[in-house]
Amino acid sequence: RKEVEQDPGPFNVPEGATVAFNCTYSNSASQSFFWYRQDCRKEPKLLMSVYSSGNEDGRFTAQLNRASQYISLLIRDSKLSDSATYLCVVNLENTGFQKLVFGTGTRLLVSP
């Protein structure tokens, strides 16, 4: 089983739609969680961190459910510029070392 699993999509949505991505992780000792965005095979960039209490940044809301080992990202009022691949990332701490493990990514296509 992969350490981080995501639905690869693509998710095709019209502008203005609300779309949600899910991610599951297998290691219950995972320390911290993130969503990264990647455009057209460019380098990934941090979109937002994910906290147990949930966090919101404008149109983006991230949630973490530790009991179910589940992370979500909600995008409201989708824009054309939101078209990208969204990567779920888990920071595993093992024997004092941290390593970032990425999901395969979920591709989002927003159309006019």
Partner 1 sequence: DAGITQSPRYKITETGRQVTLMCHQTWSHSYMFWYRQDLGHGLRLIYYSAAADITDKGEVPDGYVVSRSKTENFPLTLESATRSQTSVYFCASHDGMSTEAFFGQGTRLTVV
Q: Is 97 in the site for partner 1 (CB under 8 A)?
A: yes
Tell me the H-state helices in the chain: none
Site residue total, partner 1 (CB under 8 A):
23
Q: Does 55 help bind partner 1 (rule: CB under 8 A)?
A: no
Least spacing, CB of residue 30 vs partner 1, in Å: 12
Q: Is 100 in the site for partner 1 (CB under 8 A)?
A: yes
Contact assessment for residue 110 and residue 82, using Cβ atoms and an 8 Å cutoff: yes
Does 1 bind partner 1 (CB under 8 A)? Our answer is no
Residues between 63 and 92 that touch partner 1 (CB under 8 A): 87, 89, 91
Q: How many angstroms separate the CA atoms of 47 and 86, rounded?
A: 9
Burial of 60 (0-12, 13-18, 19+ CB in 10 A): middle
Identity of the residue, 11 or 34, whose beta carbon is nearer to partner 1 in the bound complex:
34
